[in-house]
Chain A
Amino acid sequence: MTPSTLLPTHATAPGLSGSATAPTGTRLAVAGDLLNLLRATTTESRPDEQLEALTLAVSADLPVLLWGEPGIGKTAALTQLAGSLDLPLTTVIASVHEPTDFSGLPIVGDDPEVRGVPMAPPQWAVELVRAGRGLLFLDELSTATPAVQAALLRVVLERRVGALQLPSGVRIVAAANPSASAADGWELSPPLANRFVHLYWTHDREVVVRGLGGVWPRAELPSLAPERLPEAVAFARRAVCGFLEARPTLIHRLPSTETRRGGAWPSPRSWEAALTLLAFGTAASASREVLALLVRGTVGDGPGLELLAHLDRMDLPDPETLLADPPSAELPARGDLRQAALEAVVAAVGARPERPRWEAGWAVLVRALETGAPDLLVAPATALASLRRDDWEVPEAVERLVAVIGLARRADQSVHRVAVADGTVRTTPARR
Chain B
Amino acid sequence: MSGGTERPLPRPMARPAPPRPVADTAPGPAGGSGTVHGGPGLPLDREKLLAGRLHAVKVRPYLAGALFALHVVEDRSVPTMAVDAHWRVYVSPGFVARTPVEELAGVWVHEVSHLLRDHHERGERYGREHEEYGPRERLRRNIAADFEINDDIYGDGLPMPTGVVLPSLLKLPDGLLMEEYLRTASMSGLTGNLTWLDCGSGADGQVRRWDRGAGGAHGLSRQQRDAVRFRVAEGIRGRPGNAPEGWRRWADEVFHPPQPWRRLLGAAIHSAASAPGVGENHSYRRPSRRSAGLRGVLLPSLRRMPPRVCVVIDTSGSVSDAELGSALLEVAAISRAVGGRRDLVSVISCDAAAGIAVPLCRAEGIELLGGGGTDLRSGFARALRSRPRPDVVVALTDGQTPWPAVAPPCRTVVGLFPRPAREAEGDPDYVPDTPPPWARTVTIG
Q: Which residues of A contact B (CB under 8 A)?
A: 1, 98-100, 105-109, 120, 145-148, 150, 179-180, 182, 184-187, 257-260, 287-289, 291-292, 301-302, 305-306, 308-309, 312, 333-336, 338-339, 373-376, 378, 403, 406-408, 410-415, 417-419, 421-422
**Known contacts being A106-B297, A187-B267, A408-B54, is A288 close to B224, with CB within 8 Å?**
yes
Determine whether the beta carbon of A259 is less than 8 Å from that of B258. yes
Stretch at the interface among B19-27, B30-38, B63-71: B63-71
Q: How far is the CA of A408 from the CA of B218 in the complex (A)?
A: 25
Determine whether the beta carbon of B281 is less than 8 Å from that of A411. no
Total A-B residue contacts, Cβ distance less than 8 Å: 183
Closest Cβ of chain B to A403, distance in Å, is 8
Closest Cβ of chain B to A107, distance in Å, is 5
Show 11 residue pairs from A and B whose CB-CB distance is below 8 angstroms, ordered by the A residue: A109-B296, A145-B280, A146-B279, A147-B282, A184-B270, A187-B267, A336-B69, A407-B54, A408-B54, A411-B51, A414-B55
Q: Does B186 contact A (CB under 8 A)?
A: no
Q: Does B52 contact A (CB under 8 A)?
A: yes
Query: Which of B53, B64, B222 contacts A289 (CB under 8 A)?
Result: B222
Closest Cβ of chain A to B391, distance in Å, is 13
Which chain A residues border B288 with CB–CB below 8 Å?
A: 98
Closest Cβ of chain A to B55, distance in Å, is 5
**Known contacts being A145-B281, A375-B51, is A309 close to B297, with CB within 8 Å?**
no
Which chain B residues border A288 with CB–CB below 8 Å?
A: 221, 223-224
Closest Cβ of chain A to B393, distance in Å, is 16
Which chain B residues border A98 with CB–CB below 8 Å?
A: 282, 288, 290, 299-300, 302
Query: Which of A289, A309, A406, A413 contacts B230 (CB under 8 A)?
Result: A309
Q: Which residue of A lies closest to B277 (CB)?
A: A146
Determine whether the beta carbon of A421 is less than 8 Å from that of B296. no
Residue in B47, B227, B259 with the greatest tally of chain A CB atoms within 10 Å: B227
Determine whether the beta carbon of B297 is less than 8 Å from that of A107. yes
Determine whether the beta carbon of B159 is less than 8 Å from that of A100. no
Q: Which residue of B lies closest to A406 (CB)?
A: B47
| A184-B280, A309-B227 known, 6 other contacts, Cβ within 8 Å | A185-B273, A186-B271, A291-B223, A305-B255, A309-B231, A411-B51
Which chain B residues border A336 with CB–CB below 8 Å?
A: 64-66, 68-69, 228, 231
Query: Which of B51, B158, B290 contacts A407 (CB under 8 A)?
Result: B51
Main secondary structure of the interface of A (DSSP, over half): helix
Q: Which residue of B lies closest to A189 (CB)?
A: B271
Which chain B residues border A148 with CB–CB below 8 Å?
A: 282
Q: Does B298 contact A (CB under 8 A)?
A: yes
Q: How far is the CA of A82 from the CA of B330 in the complex (A)?
A: 43
Query: Which of B70, B227, B268, B290 contacts A335 (CB under 8 A)?
Result: B70
Q: How far is the CA of A287 from the CA of B222 in the complex (A)?
A: 12
Determine whether the beta carbon of B58 is less than 8 Å from that of A411. yes
Closest Cβ of chain B to A96, distance in Å, is 11
Which residues in chain B, 35-60, are within 8 Å of chain A measured between CB atoms?
47-48, 50-55, 57-59
Residue in A179, A287, A421 with the greatest tally of chain B CB atoms within 10 Å: A179
Determine whether the beta carbon of A185 is less than 8 Å from that of B274. yes
Which residues in chain B, 411-445, are within 8 Å of chain A measured between CB atoms?
440-442
Q: Does B264 contact A (CB under 8 A)?
A: yes
Q: Which residue of A lies closest to B441 (CB)?
A: A258
Closest Cβ of chain A to B191, distance in Å, is 28
Q: Which residue of A lies closest to B228 (CB)?
A: A336
Determine whether the beta carbon of A418 is less than 8 Å from that of B158. yes
Query: Which of A107, A259, A289, A333 contacts B223 (CB under 8 A)?
Result: A289
Which chain B residues border A1 with CB–CB below 8 Å?
A: 290, 294
Closest Cβ of chain B to A400, distance in Å, is 15
Which chain A residues border B59 with CB–CB below 8 Å?
A: 415, 418
**Known contacts being A184-B274, A309-B230, is A375 close to B70, with CB within 8 Å?**
no
B257-288 contact mask (Cβ, 8 Å, vs A): 1 or 0:
01100011011111111111001111000001
Query: Which of B66, B234, B271 contacts A187 (CB under 8 A)?
Result: B271
Which chain A residues border B158 with CB–CB below 8 Å?
A: 418
Determine whether the beta carbon of B297 is less than 8 Å from that of A301. no
